Structure formats: structure tokens, C-alpha cells
């Protein structure tokens, strides 16, 4: 579902797959040079432009509604997609930078599980280790004593190898069994981390027995506030878990449903950070052709009720300077201490989607 998906053959047959293929990043070779295949974006809804137009004349395009929900920010949606709410520019630039830093420094920290956990066990301070240019090496191949406190019982496989960070260029045995990978490579291959209650991807459910931290309080409060348009007056959103998705150039998230929570009337609160993306919102079947829209850094999407039954995905992110639209982040992260975050987010997108599980 996640990664540089290949869309070809029989998978082209559904309307959703055809839309994914239409917007997916394709590169063509011209001699030794590679160029990006042009894509027609004329049918992609742009809620920033819709908001600007609404502020000028109070109107919206056909099929778009402005939700009157007593919220302090403009909220839009589609007439034929009840339960879907789009809040353009919901987060300030300062808030965006804060959550980018949290997503890189703290959210992948154990006991939070990531896509690396099953292979390498818990990895501590991945972002910091990447800045130090360190290398993760299978501990059994090192002629050193490994402190067992460096590792954590989070690893589901007790027989899996334990790994240790070492300085780049450190001496390791020349035996062919030695395995290593740079922290920089691991950071670029980071695809997801889980907050609060941990999601078990193999079983596709929340495993309350897995070690986990309390859901971050500041994220809890932000999600509660942003969920208001999708909640009735007497209800309160209770964030219990989140999945943080990390996208690099060429990555996509295939069409799927978020259907593992008990109560679909409660919204998923989805925050976009970093490079601009295209988001597809379909119907109850992949045979329904989806609508496409831009997601920019700071936008928030809510999906509740009927919208929870709609297939959705991200076929593309824009990492080139012209289309990424991250100039405000570049300005905000221009201090020397923040350049490492800027270097990452120039070619990446982060999505934090927050759920009430029970």
C-alpha cells in the first residue's frame, strides 16, 4: 500500500487506480538525463484558491460547500461527500515547524513502533544519529559488549538481531555475515511511526498489550480543537492514537480505507506538513472515480461518518522547488540550528492522522 508503487496491468481497471496513474510521478529518460513527465492538474481542486475567492465575493465553485459550523476558521467540503471537511491553512507556520520537529525527533522514539522496528528493534534518536553520520551495525558482529539497556522489549521477535550505532568508518569484522546501514539511509526509509495505542500492521488492529506512551497532550488538545466541525455539540473527540506517515520523492499511499476504529462517526484528524501533495477522495468502491485536491503544509482534513467509508490515497507529492510550495517553512527554518530540519522537509511530506480508537 505504501511506497513507490507500480501501477500497471490489471490494476489499471478500477477508476481509483486510473486516477492514481494519472497523477503519479513518472520519470522519462532523455539520454543520460531524466525528466518528469508532465501531468494535467486542471481538474485538481485548490482549496487555497477557493478560500481566496470566497473571501473576495462569498461564492464557491459548483459542488463545493462552505460549512457553517461555528468554527473560527473557514471549513469547506463537497456536496456529494458528507463527512469530509477541509480546513485550508489551519496551522500557522510556527505550528507547522513545531510538528515537523516533533515528527522527526520524538514521534519515532521507542516505545513508538516504526516500519524499522520489526527488522532492527527499537531505534533511539534516529534523526540525531543521522545528523552525526553514524552507522547502525548488527551488534553480534561487533567485538564489544552491548549494554542490554540500549535495547527494549518492544521488539516482537525475541530472536531478532540487536543493533548498535557506531561512528562512521568504525572497524567491524570482515565476515560476510556482518550487516550495517547508515542512519541517514534509515531516516530516508522511515515511512511510519505510531503514537499512543500501537497499531499492529500485520494483524490490522490496535494491540493494547504493546508498550506505549500516553498520547502527546499538546497534540491531543490540537486534535480536539480541529475536530469540532465534524462533531455534534454534545460530543467530544478523544484522541487515542495517531499514525505519522513520512513521504519522500516518488512515494505514494495507495487507495485504502481507515476502518480499524470502533466508531466511524468520530473523525480522523489529518494534518499535512512539508511538500505539497495530491489527495484523492473516492467513494465506497474503487470503481467510483475520485476527486483530486491539493494538500499543502498547514492544511487539515477531517473524515467522519460517510466519508470514513470512502477510499482515499496520496498518489503524488511535489518535491521540486517550483511546486513544493514550502517558502514559508524555508524562511522559518533558516536559522543554523534548524537547517537539518529544513534539509529533510525540502523533499518530504509528513502526515499526522489522529484517531479515536474506542
Distance CA 7, CA 273 (A): 26
Q: Contact 246/272 with Cβ under 8 angstroms?
A: no
Check the annotation: does 256 bind a ligand. Answer: yes
Distance CA 349, CA 318 (A): 9
Check the annotation: does 258 bind a ligand. Answer: yes
SS3 letters across the chain: CEECCCCCHHHHHCHHHHHHHHHCCCEEEECCEEEECCCCCCCEECHHHHHHHHHHHCCCCCCEEECCCCCCCCCEEECCCCCEEEECCCCCHHHHHHHHHHHHHCCCCCCCCECCHHHHCCCCCHHHHHHCCCEEEEHHHCCCCCCHHHCCCCCCCCCCCCEEEECCCCCCCCCCCCCEEEHHHHHHCCCEEEEECCEECCCCEECCCCCCCCCCHHHHHHHHHHCHHHCCCCCCCCCCEEEEEEEECCCEEEEECCCCCCCCCCCEEEEEEECCEEEEECCCCCCCCCEEEEECCCCEEEECHHHHHCCEEEEEECCCHHHHCCHHHHHHCCCHHHHHHHHHHCCEEEEEEEECCC
Q: Which residues are known binding-site members? A: 256, 258, 312
Q: Which residues are known binding-site members for Fe cation? A: 256, 258, 312
Amino acid at each position: 500500500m505504501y511506497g513507490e508503487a507500480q501501477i500497471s496491468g490489471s490494476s489499471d481497471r478500477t477508476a481509483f487506480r486510473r486516477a492514481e496513474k494519472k497523477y503519479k510521478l513518472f520519470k522519462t529518460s532523455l539520454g543520460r538525463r531524466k525528466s518528469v513527465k508532465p501531468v494535467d492538474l486542471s481538474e485538481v481542486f485548490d482549496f487555497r484558491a477557493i478560500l481566496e475567492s470566497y473571501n473576495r465575493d462569498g461564492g464557491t465553485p459548483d459542488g463545493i460547500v462552505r460549512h457553517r459550523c461555528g468554527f473560527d476558521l473557514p471549513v469547506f467540503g463537497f456536496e456529494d461527500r458528507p463527512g469530509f471537511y477541509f480546513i485550508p491553512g489551519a496551522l500557522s507556520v510556527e505550528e507547522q515547524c513545531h510538528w515537523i520537529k516533533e515528527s522527526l525527533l520524538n514521534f519515532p522514539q521507542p516505545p513508538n513502533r516504526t516500519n524499522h522496528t520489526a527488522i532492527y528493534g527499537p531505534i533511539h534518536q534516529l534523526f540525531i544519529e543521522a545528523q552525526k553520520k553514524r552507522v547502525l551495525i548488527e551488534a553480534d558482529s561487533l567485538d564489544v559488549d552491548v549494554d542490554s539497556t540500549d535495547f527494549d522489549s518492544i521488539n516482537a521477535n525475541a530472536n531478532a538481531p540487536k543493533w548498535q550505532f557506531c561512528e562512521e568508518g568504525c572497524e567491524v569484522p570482515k565476515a560476510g555475515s556482518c550487516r550495517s546501514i547508515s542512519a541517514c539511509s534509515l531516516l530516508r526509509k522511515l515511512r511510519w511511526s505510531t503514537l499512543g495505542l500501537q497499531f499492529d500492521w500485520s494483524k490490522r488492529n490496535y494491540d493494547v498489550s504493546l508498550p506505549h506512551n500516553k498520547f502527546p497532550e499538546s497534540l491531543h488538545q490540537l486534535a480536539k480543537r480541529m475536530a469540532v466541525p465534524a462533531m455534534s455539540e454534545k460530543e467530544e473527540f478523544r484522541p487515542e492514537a495517531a499514525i505519522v506517515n513520512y513521504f519522500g520523492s516518488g512515494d505514494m499511499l495507495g487507495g485504502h480505507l481507515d476502518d480499524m476504529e470502533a466508531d466511524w462517526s468520530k473523525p480522523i484528524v489529518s494534518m499535512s506538513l512539508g511538500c505539497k501533495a495530491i489527495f484523492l477522495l473516492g467513494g465506497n468502491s474503487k470503481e467510483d472515480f475520485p476527486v483530486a485536491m491539493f494538500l499543502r503544509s498547514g492544511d487539515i482534513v477531517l473524515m467522519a461518518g460517510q466519508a470514513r467509508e470512502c477510499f482515499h490515497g496520496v498518489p503524488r507529492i511535489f518535491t521540486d522547488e517550483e511546486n513544493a510550495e514550502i517558502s514559508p517553512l524555508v524562511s522559518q527554518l533558516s536559522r543554523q540550528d534548524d537547517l537539518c530540519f529544513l534539509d529533510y522537509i525540502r523533499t518530504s511530506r509528513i502526515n499526522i492522522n489522529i484517531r479515536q480508537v474506542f
